[in-house]
Amino acid sequence: MADVRGHEQLAAVIAGAHEQFPGFEFRPLGSVDGHHTIARFSWELVAPDGSAPVAGSDVITLAEDGRIRSVLGFLDRVPTAA
């Protein structure tokens, strides 16, 4: 996936995903599950036709000031090569 630090690098990774999948939108799956400074959530990447070929889960750790300290991302579903 990516190893980034700071707002600019995170924004660049998100922009890269939008460039790689034009017209797709991220959609949350379920609700965020949190405990103290850790939260997890799942998502899908939805195509204009409504299909969701990519899905994943992220685990976020927050710093004491509420800023994101780390994000661990997992791809749960990816398209297979034709």
How far apart (Å, rounded) are the C-alpha atoms in residues 82 and 78?
Answer: 12
Domains in the chain, CATH or no CATH each:
23-77 (3.10.450.50)
Closest CA relative to residue 61, chosen from 52, 70, 53? 70
- Show the tokens assigned to 29: 């799956």
How far apart (Å, rounded) are the C-alpha atoms in residues 61 and 15?
Answer: 22
> pLDDT by residue (tens digit) across 14-46?
899 889 999 999 999 999 999 999 999 999 999
At residue 4, the pLDDT reads: 83
At residue 17, the pLDDT reads: 87
41-45: long-range contacts, CB 8 A cutoff, minimum separation 24: 42/76, 45/17, 45/21
- Show the tokens assigned to 82: 């034709």
